[in-house]
């Protein structure tokens, strides 16, 4: 029993060390990244339902050897997808509707189908509305790069 308690404490300590070491890596690399952002744009989109809307963000770089991983934009964290034609990264960011049509009932079975309310994600960066941060892998390490001027375009 004592060994089990010691093991739990050891696992908790290792978990805390990993948590704090990961949180300290969320610093934007100010030195020259191994790529240049040639173009960074975003556009608003609306779905067929009133509750469906968000942003489409597109990033084009000059170095295909560097893999962009994630984008932090407008208090969201979204994985980037590489598109071969044209060679760009893109992410579809869904903005949740704050007005949910909930069915409330004393019998919880009648509440089946209610959507889970969105809880805001706090990203580790303070960004303006037209700024984004991308996470990228380079030589086996994870770095962050801030894009200062993401341009709004229309989807037409």
Tell me the two tokens of residue 126: 């303070």
In this prediction, residue 156 has a pLDDT band, given cuts at 50, 70 and 90, of: low
Please give the Cα distance from 114 to 118 (Å, whole number). 12
In this prediction, residue 49 has a pLDDT band, given cuts at 50, 70 and 90, of: confident
Give the model confidence (pLDDT) of 56-68 as tens digits: 999 999 988 889 9
Give the model confidence (pLDDT) of 73-125 as tens digits: 988 899 999 998 888 999 998 876 656 666 777 888 887 777 665 555 678 88
**HSE-up of 153 (CA within 13 Å, CB side)?**
13
The answer, yes or no, to whether residue 6 has pLDDT greater than 60, is: no
Tell me the two tokens of residue 37: 């952002």
**How deeply is 68 buried, as exposed, middle or buried, from its count of CB atoms within 10 A (0-12, 13-18, 19+)?**
buried
User: In the prediction, which pLDDT does 13 show?
Assistant: 43
Whether the CB-CB separation of 137 and 145 falls below 8 Å is answered with: no
In the chain the domains, ranked by start, together with CATH numbers, are: 31-152 (2.60.40)
User: In the prediction, which pLDDT does 41 show?
Assistant: 95
Following DSSP, what letter does each residue of the chain receive, concatenated?
-HHHHHHHHHHHHHHHHHHHHHHTT-----SPPSS-EEEEEEEEEE-SSTT-EEEEEEEEES-TTSEEEEEEETTEEEE-EEETTTTEEEEEEEEPPS-------SSGGGGTTPPPPP-----SS---TT-EEEEEEETTEEEEEEES-PEE----
Please give the Cα distance from 129 to 121 (Å, whole number). 16
In this prediction, residue 15 has a pLDDT band, given cuts at 50, 70 and 90, of: very low
In this prediction, residue 31 has a pLDDT band, given cuts at 50, 70 and 90, of: low
């Amino acid at each position: 029993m004592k060994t089990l308690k010691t093991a739990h404490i050891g696992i908790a300590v290792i978990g805390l060390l990993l948590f704090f070491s990961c949180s300290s890596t969320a610093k934007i690399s100010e030195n020259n990244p191994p790529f240049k952002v040639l173009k960074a744009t975003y556009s608003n989109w609306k779905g067929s339902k009133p509750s469906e809307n968000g942003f489409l963000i597109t990033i084009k770089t000059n170095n295909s050897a560097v893999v962009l991983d994630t984008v932090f934009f407008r208090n969201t964290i979204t994985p980037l997808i590489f598109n071969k034609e044209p060679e760009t990264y893109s992410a579809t960011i869904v903005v949740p509707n704050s007005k949910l049509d909930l069915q409330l009932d004393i019998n919880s079975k009648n509440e089946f189908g209610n959507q889970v309310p969105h809880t805001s994600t706090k990203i580790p960066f303070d960004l303006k509305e037209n700024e984004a941060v991308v996470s990228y892998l380079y030589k086996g390490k994870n770095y962050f790069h801030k894009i200062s001027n993401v341009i709004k375009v229309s989807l037409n």
